[in-house]
Structure 1
Amino acid sequence: MSFDSWIGTPTLVLAVPGDSGSDADTGGVGAQMVDLLRSYRPEVTIRIGCVEGSDHRLADALADLEPVAGHPLRGVVVPLVTAPHPATSRAIAEAVESTGADVRVTDGLGPHPMLAEVLHLRLAESGFVRADRMRLISVVAPNTTMTDGVIVGAVGGDDAVNAAGVTAVLLAARLGVTVLPADLEDEASLEQVRGQLADAGCVRPVIAPSIVGPEFDVDRLAELGERYSARCSAPLGASSTLAKIAALRYAEILNSVGLDTPPTVDDLPSPVGSRHRPES
C-alpha cells in the first residue's frame, strides 16, 4: 500500500559517495542514475548530493528541506552504495544535522536480490560468462576466456562483505561456479578468498566489484587483478535495475511514514461506486 497521496512527493536526494566533483554536469554515475530514476518516479524532484568535495555538496541539496508545518516529510536520502558504507553514512548524518533537513535516510541499494542480476550482466559484458541463465547447468564455457570462479568485491568493512555474501550466493546459483565475497580494501581478505578459489580448482578467477563506482578508486582494480592473478569486470555503474532498487527504497520510506502516523478518516478520499452513492 502506498501513502503517496497523503504524504505527497518528498524530494529524493541521491547521496553519491566520495568526491564526485561536477558529476551532475559531466554525465557521471549520479546524473545517469537521476535520469533512470525519473522513469520510475517522474513526479518526484530528484537531486544529487556528493558527500565530499566542494561541488554539488549533499548539504546544498538538503539546504531548503527544513521542516514545514503540515508536511510529514520533506525529503528522502538514498545512499548510492550497494552495502553498508560507514564513511558515506557518517557524511550523510553530518549533512542532515548541519542543515536541519526534515529527511529520512534509506538503506543502501544492497543487499538486494537484483544486484546479482547486474553483476551477471557486467561479467557477461566483459566476456567472462555467458549472458543467459540456465538452471542446474553451468553457464561458464570451458575455455580460456570464461571464468571458473568469481570474487564479489565489497567496500565498507565486515558489514559490506556480509552483504556481498548474499549477492555471491545468488550469483553462484546463476553461474554454476564458486563465488565468494571479499573486502577490496583488505589484502588479507582477498588473499584468503583467492586461496579458497585455488583450493576449489579455480584457475581463471575474476574479481567482480559489487560497487556502484564512486566509493572506490577504480584504477586500483587493475592493480588488484595483477596482484592476485585475476581479471576484473567493471563496477556496476548506473543501471535501470539499480534505479529500480532506489525507487523501491524511496517508496519504503513513504510507506513507513504512513504507517507511523496514518491519515485520519477526514484525510482519506470519499469512496466511490454504486454502493456509496448519496441518498436521493
Structure 2
Amino acid sequence: MQRTRHSARPVRTGTSGTPAASRDAAQPPVLVAVAHGSRDPQAVRTVVRLLDRVREMRPGLDVRLGHIELNEPLLPQTLAGLGGGSAVLVPLLLGRGYHVKHDLPSLAAAAPEVRTRIAAPLGPHPLLVEALYGRLVEAGWPAGPGPGTGEEQGQGRGDAVVLASAGSRDPESAADTRRTARLLSERLGGVPVVPAYASAATPATPTVSVAVRALAARGYHRTAVASYFTAPGRFATAAAEAAPGIAAAPLGDHPAMARLLLHRYDHACAGAAPADGGTPLLATA
C-alpha cells in the first residue's frame, strides 16, 4: 500500500541543488535480481551467468544481485550499496510463496533510503515454459515443431513429464506450479505433465519419486523430469536422481530466462509510482 505523500516532506538535493527525484527520473531504476541462496557453489555462478546475459540484452542497465540467505551479497547489503535512488527487485523465484509475499517486502521496507518496487515472480509465464522446454530438449527430449500433438513431437502414448519444484505449502504458489505444468503440457503437444515437489510434499502434490511411480502404474513408462529450479542445488540434484530417464538441467542462464527477467522488470517499471520511503509495491501481473 502506498503511503500518503506530505507536501511538507523535505526534498533531497545534490550538490548542484537539483532535486534528487529529478535525477532519479532521468535514469532507470536499478534491476536487483533476488536469488534465494544455496550452499551449492554452482548456484551463485549460474545466477551470475544469467545476469551477465541480462546485461548483454540491455546494455547500460544497472543490474545487481542480492540473496535472501546463505550467500553474499545479501539483499540488505545490495540495497545499502545503492546509496539511495530507486530499484526494482526481481525475484528469481518461480511462484507466489513466502519469500515473495513476506521476506522481500520486509527487506525492502528496511531500506527506506531506496524507493523500491517488487516485480512479480518469474512463474508462471510462457517464457519460463520455453526455458523448461529448451532444457528438456537439451537433455534428450525429441524436439518438435511447436505446440501440437504428442506424435508431432516424436512422443508416444507412454511418455510423460514430471515437473519437479522445490515445493511450497502456500496455496497460491502451488497453483502457480500447477499452471506451469499445464502450460508445459500444451508446449509438449499434450504430453501429461505432473507437478511434484522435492520438499513440502502434500497428498495433492507428491514427491518426484512418487509421481514417477504413479505414472508408471498408469502406463507411462518413459518419464522425463523437468527441473523447475532457477539454479543447481540440493533439491535440483535430488529431483534429477529420481528421474528414470531424461533429467533436464535447472533453468539457469537459458536465454528465455534473461528475457523473462527483463519482462518482469519492465512491467514493474510501467506500474504505479514507487511508494515514499521505500515501501515496496508488488507487481502481480
Please tell me the TM-score bracket, short chain as reference.
Answer: 0.7 to 0.9
Identity rate, percent: 25
Instruction: Note if 1:8 corresponds to 2:22.
Output: no
Instruction: Note if 1:114 corresponds to 2:114.
Output: no
Instruction: Note if 1:86 corresponds to 2:98.
Output: yes
Instruction: Note if 1:140 corresponds to 2:159.
Output: no
Specify the SS of the correspondent of 2:135.
helix
Matched with 1:44 is 61
Query: Are the counterparts in 2 of residues 154 and 161 from structure 1 also a CA contact under 8 Å?
Result: no
Query: Are the counterparts in 1 of residues 95 and 121 from structure 2 also a CA contact under 8 Å?
Result: yes
Matched with 1:59 is 76
- 1:17 Cα offset (Å): 1.0
Instruction: Note if 1:212 corresponds to 2:230.
Output: yes
Query: Are the counterparts in 1 of residues 131 and 255 from structure 2 also a CA contact under 8 Å?
Result: no
Query: Are the counterparts in 2 of residues 207 and 231 from structure 1 also a CA contact under 8 Å?
Result: yes
Deviations 1:207-266 (A, max 9, x none): 2121212575332224433xxx46422111112111111111111111113599xxxxxx
Matched with 1:98 is 110
How many equivalent pairs are there? 244
- 1:47 Cα offset (Å): 0.5
Query: Are the counterparts in 1 of residues 225 and 240 from structure 2 also a CA contact under 8 Å?
Result: no
- Specify every segment of 5 or more residues in structure 2 that has no aligned partner in the other structure, as ranges: 1-23, 276-285
| Amino acid across the alignment from 1:149 | A
Instruction: Note if 1:180 corresponds to 2:194.
Output: yes
* CA distance in 1: counterparts of 2:251 and 2:35, whole angstroms: 14
* CA distance in 1: counterparts of 2:89 and 2:50, whole angstroms: 14
Matched with 1:249 is 264
Structure 1 residues 128 and 195: alpha-carbon distance in aligned structure 2, compared to 1, 3 A threshold: same
- Greater relative CO (CA pairs within 8 A, separation 6+): 2
Structure 1 residues 12 and 233: alpha-carbon distance in aligned structure 2, compared to 1, 3 A threshold: same
Please say which of residues 48-57 and 26-35 is displaced more in the overlay: 26-35
Structure 1 residues 75 and 230: alpha-carbon distance in aligned structure 2, compared to 1, 3 A threshold: same
Please say which of residues 167-176 and 188-197 is displaced more in the overlay: 188-197
Structure 1 residues 193 and 219: alpha-carbon distance in aligned structure 2, compared to 1, 3 A threshold: closer
Specify the SS of the correspondent of 2:110.
helix
* CA distance in 1: counterparts of 2:111 and 2:61, whole angstroms: 21
* CA distance in 2: counterparts of 1:22 and 1:219, whole angstroms: 13
Structure 1 residues 8 and 182: alpha-carbon distance in aligned structure 2, compared to 1, 3 A threshold: same
- Specify every segment of 5 or more residues in structure 1 that has no aligned partner in the other structure, as ranges: 69-73, 261-280
* 1:125-164 equivalences in 2 (<5 Å): 125-130=138-143, 132-133=145-146, 135-138=148-151, 139-141=153-155, 148-157=159-168, 158-164=171-177
Deviations 1:120-177 (A, max 9, x none): 11111111332542623521345xxx97100112224143332122222222223232
Query: Are the counterparts in 2 of residues 150 and 206 from structure 1 also a CA contact under 8 Å?
Result: yes
Structure 1 residues 222 and 134: alpha-carbon distance in aligned structure 2, compared to 1, 3 A threshold: closer
Instruction: Note if 1:171 corresponds to 2:184.
Output: yes
- 1:18 Cα offset (Å): 1.8
* CA distance in 2: counterparts of 1:152 and 1:254, whole angstroms: 31
Structure 1 residues 43 and 208: alpha-carbon distance in aligned structure 2, compared to 1, 3 A threshold: same
